[in-house]
Amino acid sequence: MWRCKFISLGDFFYTRFGRKAGITATLLMSFIFILWVSVQILVFGKIVNALIGWELMTSIIVGMVVICSYTVLGGLFAVCFTDIIQVAITLAGLLALVPFAVSAVGGWEAFCASYDPELIRIFPAEGTPGVHWIAWLAALAVMTLGNVASPDLMQRAFSAKTANTARASAFCAAAVFFIFVVLVTIAALCGVIMVGNGMIDDPHLLGNEAAGIAGDPELILPVMSKTILPLPLLILFLGAGMSAVMSAAATASLALAGVVSMNIYRDIFKPAASEKEQVLVTRIVVLIIGVIGTVIAISFPDAMELCALGFDLLLAALSITVTLGLFWKKANSTGAVCGMIAGMAFRVIGGAVDGGSFTLQALAYPEHWYYFTLGAPLICLIVTVAVSAVTQKSCPPLPLPNHG
């Protein structure tokens, strides 16, 4: 895709599938990716709420203002350069937290003897009913294949100097991410042990006496940090948490705003728009995204479910279409549009019906969510292939430029 000289993921859909598919994909992408921005704003709010003590709503609004301000003032390369610093701060914060956390539960041997192995089981236990394996496959698909059509990852790849740089960066990022996962997992397991031993809890978080860690496990790390870290390291961890969230939020906001300004404003409403106009629209859209993301974060304060739902919907509507567009030359515009709509409709309508209503809370992860999560991309695949096959003459496929 880098060789095609795209600027946004929307450009791929416009070029490979034409105007109708490009508009459809861009609108779906915009709707879906706001959820990812909401996750970052929500996590920012939870960190401030836990460590500083401000009310959650106030903390979320402050997070939105901070994130939108420096994203609007900077731009892609400013975000990329600050990301380098933010990742370093985040890693330093976790490296500082883990030894204190392990020490707090009695040392490494005590830690290994105390945590529940079920919490880090990779595969379902032997003898687990088949439905649990289906749910496991669905969760794996969401967090892997759901990222295929992630506009922020694509934007970073397209901005690389060479295709080899983009490819190498992906592998390097995976290695660094693995280090983060190990550190966060160890710290979180220590937090679970401390909660079980009654060593940490804060019932006053979120302005709700019944809340605290028992009501929101996502607060474990910040509350544990406040309990066990000396003030200088606590400040470092606060900076680390803020850095991680600001990095992801700025990247997501800018990627989505870029798609809207180029693939909706420029391609649909004003093809002759200058670069200056597009930059202005991008900045305005970043602010709009921040406001909408804040409303969602306040209304649905479960970061993990929001995060998973965003990638779930990308998997349902866009990941299969991107893959077919790259590797199956017969995929055409009509097939792509029908496939994206069919996959998205099955996931949203099916989830909402199973959940009992069309609210975000109901359609996110109802009792049988895994059937809709796995079924949606399968339906997208079948519809795209079938419709493309029967409309080859009326809608010839469009080739990708410089794709080899």
Q: Tens digits of per-residue pLDDT, 329-340? A: 999 999 999 999
Angle between the N-to-C axes of helices 19-51 and 231-260, in degrees from 0 to 180, rounded to the nearest 10: 160
pLDDT at 34: 86
Q: 192-206, 238-252, 360-374: which range is least confident on average?
A: 192-206
Rounded CA separation 139/15 (Å): 31
pLDDT at 214: 57
Token pair 């983009």: residue: 166
* pLDDT at position 113 over 60: yes
As a whole-number percent, the residues of the chain with pLDDT over 70 amount to 94
Angle between the N-to-C axes of helices 231-260 and 220-228, in degrees from 0 to 180, rounded to the nearest 10: 150
pLDDT at 71: 77
* Residue range 302-330: mean pLDDT, rounded: 92
Rounded CA separation 36/323 (Å): 22
Tokens of 196: 């079980």
**In sequence order, what are the residues at sequence separation of 6 or more whose Cβ sits closer than 8 angstroms to the Cβ of residue 258?**
7, 8, 76, 151, 155, 282
Report the predicted TM-score, pTM, of the whole model to 2 decimal places.
Answer: 0.83
Could you give the dihedral angle defined by the CA atoms of residues 109, 115, 121 and 122, in that order, rounded to the nearest 10 degrees? -60
Work out the mean pLDDT of the chain and round it to a whole number.
86
Q: What is the pLDDT of residues 230-279, one digit of tens each?
A: 988 888 878 777 777 877 777 778 777 877 888 788 877 888 888 888 88
* Residue range 285-312: mean pLDDT, rounded: 89
Question: Vertex 170, ends 169 and 175: CA angle to 5°?
Answer: 95
pLDDT at 49: 82
pLDDT at 172: 92
pLDDT tier at 179, thresholds 50, 70, 90: very high
Tokens of 391: 């409309």
pLDDT at 209: 37
Q: 62-66, 135-139, 244-248: which range is least confident on average?
A: 244-248
Rounded CA separation 187/58 (Å): 27
DSSP per residue, 172-223: HHHHHHHHHHHHHHHHHHHHHHHHHTTS---TTGGG-TT-STTT-GGGHHHH
- What sign for the dihedral angle of Cα 236, 241, 244, 250? negative
CATH architecture of the region 19-301: Up-down Bundle (1.20)
Rounded CA separation 226/202 (Å): 10
* Residue range 95-122: mean pLDDT, rounded: 92
* pLDDT at position 403 over 70: no
Domain residue ranges in the chain: 19-301
pLDDT at 340: 97
As a whole-number percent, the residues of the chain with pLDDT over 90 amount to 37
Rounded CA separation 83/220 (Å): 25
Q: How many residues in the chain? A: 404
